[in-house]
Amino acid sequence: VAQHRLWKEIDHLVKQEVSMARLGVGECGTGWQLFAEDGEMKMYRREEEIDGMVVDPLKAVHVVKGITGHELCHYFFSPQYRYDWETTLETMQVVETIADDTLIFQQTHKRIWPASQRDCLFWSHLRRLPNDQDTEGPDMWTVVNHSTEHTDYPANTGKCVRIFLTVCLLCQTQVDPPKDGAPISRDNITCKITYCSVVNPGGWAPASVLRAVYKREYPKFLKRFTSYVINQTKNKSIMF
Ligand SMILES: CCCc1ccc(-c2ccc(S(=O)(=O)CCO)cc2)cc1[C@H]1C[C@H]1c1ccccn1
């Protein structure tokens, strides 16, 4: 397979992010504090600052019925749906198509008063993770987003402060086939989701304001995104 310029970085980061995502919040050492819970969704964060800036790592786990990990990752990765579910977006564009599973995005997010507006530039990679022999069931799927540079989009030249992010959406589908041998329907599938993100705000922003925004925005984002995918797929054939 022809390897592109970011392949080594992407391959390394995907392996690293997936292995971290698969660790429960217990194993990741202490420090994870549960800060939001809604039904099956549990959100944890660690309070971390770099040069006085809040960079709290976030880890969310969720279980959703009726959709597959492939479907979730498809709607998370594909640009054409993003404005439907990402409420903090002001603008989004695909800066470069590196491969059909690897894009570079530039996004500006709505300003969080009193901080200045932020933008981000990141590669986004969609990958199926084949199960090893002994794990039965469908493969896992992941999307990893990681900040990158691009000559046409230098940081901090306009009104926006460039943030730095690493995000991993890791999904595992579980199929419970109907007893009577009927074909598998959406009632027989469940998706276990792990969403990890570290966002460095790239410049000073009041810790209290950022933590309040994360506390409000992240639970809203994951609930809205999963509901969106359920709604988009409910009358479509299952994409395993
Ligand atoms: C000062 C930082 C502002 C800020 C910049 C960026 C982001 C952000 C960017 C990307 C992704 S994603 O998961 O890769 C999906 C693609 O958009 C999630 C979040 C979040 C915030 C903050 C606004 C908060 C927030 C939190 C959760 C969801 C959305 N927004």
pLDDT > 90? residue 133: no
Say what the pLDDT of residue 29 is: 59
Average pLDDT over residues 43-52: 94
Say what the pLDDT of residue 72 is: 98
What digits encode the pLDDT tens for the residues 83-101?
Answer: 999 999 999 999 999 999 9
Average pLDDT over residues 174-185: 95
Say what the pLDDT of residue 105 is: 98
What digits encode the pLDDT tens for the residues 188-198?
Answer: 999 999 999 99
Of residues 226, 223, 215, the one with CA closest to residue 44: 215
Mean pLDDT for the chain overall: 94
CA-based max dimension of the chain = 62
Q: Whose CA is nearest to atom 22 of ligand 1?
A: 214
pLDDT > 90? residue 128: yes
Cα separation, 89 vs 81, in Å, equals 12
Average pLDDT over residues 102-107: 98
- Cβ of 239 closer than 6 Å to ligand 1, yes or no, is no
- Cβ of 146 closer than 6 Å to ligand 1, yes or no, is no
Instruction: Please tell me the pTM assigned to this model.
Output: 0.96
Average pLDDT over residues 147-161: 96
- Cβ of 165 closer than 6 Å to ligand 1, yes or no, is yes
221 CA: nearest ligand 1 atom: 28
